[in-house]
């Protein structure tokens, strides 16, 4: 039987890791899936789309792989987040983003991805998006329901991002 080494939140936050950053779940440091080229290209594309919206006058900020402290014992790292409004001074945000995005990697397990989406929802993210780069499918998650969509919307800013726009990489 393997013994897990628990760390404190402060120790986790003070540590950097080789390769992909790790998440913090109940005192345990948890590895994340290794992204693929398609995964990284989609991250870059989403950031480009959000910065185009910002240049058009919307109050958006976009960050890839930014640690978020969802609770005292949970730090998750969405693939991309979008914030609107005033900039926070926190290096590890404790306020929910407007949008949290997860991009599937080939070795992601469905149960773990759904758990993350549920946690973002409980944290208060207004929009939660899931992208499957292999199948070129888009999903929206809200209150326990994962729905396939043809576009992502941010209604409070009258923003619609089409499937074609996202996958034009």
Q: Residue 117: its pLDDT value, please?
A: 97
Tokens 């899936």: give the residue.
Answer: 33
pLDDT in tens, the chain (169 residues): 555 678 889 888 888 888 788 989 998 888 887 778 899 999 999 999 999 999 999 999 999 999 999 999 999 999 999 999 888 889 999 999 999 999 999 888 899 999 999 999 999 999 999 999 999 999 999 999 999 999 999 999 999 999 999 998 7
How far is C-alpha 99 from the chain's CA centre? 8
Question: Residue 129 and residue 34: Cα distance in Å, rounded?
Answer: 19
Q: Are 68 and 77 in contact (CB under 8 A)?
A: yes
Cα 105 from Cα 49, distance rounded (Å): 21
What residues contact 78, with CB distance under 8 A and at least 6 apart?
A: 65, 66, 68, 97, 100, 101, 102, 116, 120
CATH superfamily of 33-166: tt1808, chain A (3.90.1570.10)
């Amino acid at each position: 039987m393997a013994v897990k080494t628990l760390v404190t939140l402060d120790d986790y936050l003070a540590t950097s890791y080789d390769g992909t950053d790790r998440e913090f779940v109940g005192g345990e440091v948890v590895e994340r899936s290794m992204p693929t080229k398609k995964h990284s290209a989609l991250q870059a594309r989403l950031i480009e789309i959000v910065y185009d919206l910002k240049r058009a006058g919307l109050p958006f900020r976009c960050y890839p792989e930014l640690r978020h402290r969802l609770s005292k014992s949970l730090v998750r790292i969405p693939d991309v987040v979008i914030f609107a409004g005033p900039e926070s001074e926190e290096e590890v945000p404790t306020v929910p983003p407007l949008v949290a995005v997860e991009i599937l990697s080939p070795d992601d397990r469905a149960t773990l991805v759904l758990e993350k989406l549920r946690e973002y929802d409980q944290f208060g993210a207004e929009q939660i998006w899931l992208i499957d780069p292999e199948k070129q499918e888009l999903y929206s998650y809200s209150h326990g329901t994962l729905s396939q969509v043809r576009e992502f919307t941010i209604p409070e800013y009258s923003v619609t991002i089409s499937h074609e726009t996202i996958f034009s990489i």
